[in-house]
Amino acid sequence: MADHDTDGGPGLRLNYGQKIALLAGLPLILSAAAIAVLVAGQSRQMAEREIRALETRLIEAKKEELRNYVTQARNGFFFLYAPADVDDEAAKTQVLQILAAMTYGDEGFFFVYDYDGTNLVSPRQTDLINRNWWDLQDSEGTYVVREFIEAARSGSFYVEHLWPKPTTGEEARMISYVVSFPTWRWAMGTGVFIDDIVAGVEASRAEVQARVQRTFLYIGAITLAALLLVFVSGLALNLRERRLADTKLKALTQRIIDTQEEERGRVARELHDSISQILVSVRYALELARRRLAKGDARTSESLDKGIDTLGGAIQEVRRISRDLRPGVLDDLGLGPALQSLTDDFQTRTGIETEFETVVFRNRLDREARIALYRVAQEALTNIERHAGATRVTMSIRGHRTGALLRVTDNGKGLPQRRSHSGPGGLGLRNMTERMEQLGGSLRLLSTSTGLTVEAQVPLTHILPPERGSTKESA
């Protein structure tokens, strides 16, 4: 089965810079999209309101113009209509002639229909005259003449409909204003085409749509530029972090090499200064015993006893070096006994009065914490032996609610006098600090004129629960 990557799917692994770019780019894209949608919606709504208001104003102006036309026309022949009776054909003929002559513009004219739907006047479309158009419908299904007559009977009214343009014969939207001559049962009116208004409104809507699209393009371009900037920044950050990581890795590698070389040098010095010299003494004792044995000297056994005693010292020294490298008591008995043995050996070797205190606590430290605290104690004692000039050392290991705390205190010179050897920049203290950081713990140095205190603390996560059936457990 294929391994599944924990960063988001099989085969997908994001580095630090890509994660930063994703975290910065995704909200940017979402916010830009939200802004674009909001701006587009608000722009469309505002533009639509403005377009509708403009359309309403233009149509109202057209209606007012139509009403003025009709009023003027009626005033022009009212002197004939007012005194005439229902059957005054002469007056009707004169009025129809006056209305037939009243044209304006390229397509403006007056029309007259009787209440039965027969056209009486249509100067620009004479083929309609004297024909009944009661059932005339436009392409939208509106009974146009019926609407005229209904508007006239109601007094006066505007009718919006489609009507063929006299100049082209094609239907266009028109608004008509109709009034009534009830004595003669006529519906008289005039209309104006508003296709120019409709075309202007549609052009305005198209312009708004184009403006919204341009806004989308601008926001998209700005977002793309921002994403490119985020990508370039993430790439630069990734390269910088990688260079820093490479530098830290090289420094860590060099530090490991230095630590290994220092440890090898220490072991080599131990072997040369102690084991080698002891073994040379053993060789001399054995050679002396051989010569005495060859001569029959009674002191042969004395030489052999001396060589055996010296060889026993060599064995003890080998055990001491082995214990310094990796004490078996640490794994067998725990941290407390290992630290006790370490302080006992330190006091025996250096003559410095050393006291070790521990409080048995029921939780145990895990293996990593035991090793780290032991090495911190070992390094602290080494620094005291080499640099502190102390006459008394106190070491304690205690457990508490937040973890375990190792404290090593001496009455020596304090930190400033030995900064060049084991200060914050020294290899020993760096090693102690890094050991604690790897465990998620901390290392504190409390230096005074009367000595130095080293406190190493590991968190509660490195303390294991007590084994069942056990009432007392050491660290």
Last residue of a domain, one of 146, 167, 193: 193
* pLDDT of 64 higher than 50: yes
Which range in 33-37, 60-64, 144-148, 296-300 is most confidently predicted, on average pLDDT?
144-148
Identify the CATH number of the domain in which residue 402 sits: 3.30.565.10
Residue 393 lies inside a defined structural domain of this protein? yes
Q: At what angle do helices 16-81 and 89-101 cross, to 10 degrees?
A: 140
Structure confidence by residue, pLDDT tens digits, 69-116: 888 888 888 888 888 888 888 888 999 988 888 888 778 889 999 999
Structure confidence by residue, pLDDT tens digits, 382-398: 888 887 788 888 888 88
Q: What's residue 225's pLDDT?
A: 82
Say how far apart CA 90 and CA 94 lie, in whole Å. Answer: 6
What total of structural domains would you count in the chain?
Answer: 2
**pLDDT mean over 112-128:** 91
**pLDDT mean over 344-368:** 77
* pLDDT of 7 higher than 60: no
**pLDDT mean over 178-187:** 90
Say how far apart CA 10 and CA 3 lie, in whole Å. Answer: 7
301 pLDDT band (50/70/90 cuts)?
confident
Say how far apart CA 225 and CA 29 lie, in whole Å. Answer: 11
Closest-CA residue to 326 (of 343, 342, 315, 311): 342
List C-alpha distances in Å: 91 to 78, 81, 102, 118, 428. 10, 7, 17, 19, 127
Say how far apart CA 204 and CA 213 lie, in whole Å. Answer: 14
Share above pLDDT 90 across residues of the chain, in percent, rounded to a whole number: 8
Q: What's residue 332's pLDDT?
A: 66
Share above pLDDT 70 across residues of the chain, in percent, rounded to a whole number: 83
* pLDDT of 60 higher than 70: yes
Say how far apart CA 473 and CA 475 lie, in whole Å. Answer: 7
Residue 455 lies inside a defined structural domain of this protein? yes
* pLDDT of 241 higher than 90: no
Residue 352 lies inside a defined structural domain of this protein? yes
How long is the chain?
A: 475
* pLDDT of 407 higher than 80: yes
* pLDDT of 347 higher than 80: yes
Residue 339 lies inside a defined structural domain of this protein? yes
Last residue of a domain, one of 160, 193, 226: 193
Q: Decide if 164 contacts 111 (C-beta within 8 A).
A: no
Query: Could you tell me the end-to-end alpha-carbon distance of the chain, in angstroms, rounded to an integer?
Result: 43
Residue 403 lies inside a defined structural domain of this protein? yes
Range of the domain at 107: 102-193
Q: What tokens does 294 get?
A: 């060859």
Q: What's residue 425's pLDDT?
A: 46
Name the more confident of 465 and 28: 28
What does R_g of the chain's alpha carbons equal in angstroms? Answer: 55
Residue 448 lies inside a defined structural domain of this protein? yes
* pLDDT of 474 higher than 60: no
Say how far apart CA 141 and CA 171 lie, in whole Å. Answer: 13
Q: What's residue 131's pLDDT?
A: 93
Cβ burial 149-180 (10 Å sphere, 16+ → b, else e):
bebbeeeebbbebbbebbeeeeebbbbbbbbb
Amino acid at 393: V
E strand residue ranges, 63-181: 103-104, 108-114, 119-121, 156-164, 171-181
Identify the CATH number of the domain in which residue 109 sits: 3.30.450.20
Last residue of a domain, one of 131, 162, 193: 193
226 pLDDT band (50/70/90 cuts)?
confident
Query: Across-strand partners of 355?
Result: 394
Residue 374 lies inside a defined structural domain of this protein? yes
Name the more confident of 184 and 55: 184
Structure confidence by residue, pLDDT tens digits, 11-21: 456 665 566 66
Residue 63 lies inside a defined structural domain of this protein? no
Closest-CA residue to 113 (of 122, 104, 124): 122
